[in-house]
Amino acid sequence: QVQLVESGGGLVQPGGSLRLSCVASGIIFPAYVMGWYRQPPGKERELVATISGGGGITKYAESIEGRFTISRDNAKKTVYLQANSLKPEDTAVYYCNAHFGPTVGGRNYWGQGTQVTVSS
Residue 62: which pLDDT band, with cuts at 50, 70 and 90? very high
Per-residue confidence (pLDDT) for residue 28, from 0 to 100:
95
Is residue 88 predicted with pLDDT exceeding 80?
A: yes
CB 20 within 8 A of CB 8: yes
CB 80 within 8 A of CB 20: yes
CB 77 within 8 A of CB 71: no
Least confident of 8-22, 66-80, 103-117: 103-117
| Average pLDDT of span 6-22 | 97
Is residue 103 predicted with pLDDT exceeding 80?
A: no
Residue 5: which pLDDT band, with cuts at 50, 70 and 90? very high
| Average pLDDT of span 75-91 | 98
Is residue 105 predicted with pLDDT exceeding 90?
A: no
CA separation, residue 92 to residues 31, 35, 45, 88 (Å): 28, 15, 9, 9
| Average pLDDT of span 72-92 | 98
Neighbours of 51 (CB within 10 A): 23
Per-residue confidence (pLDDT) for residue 101, from 0 to 100:
87
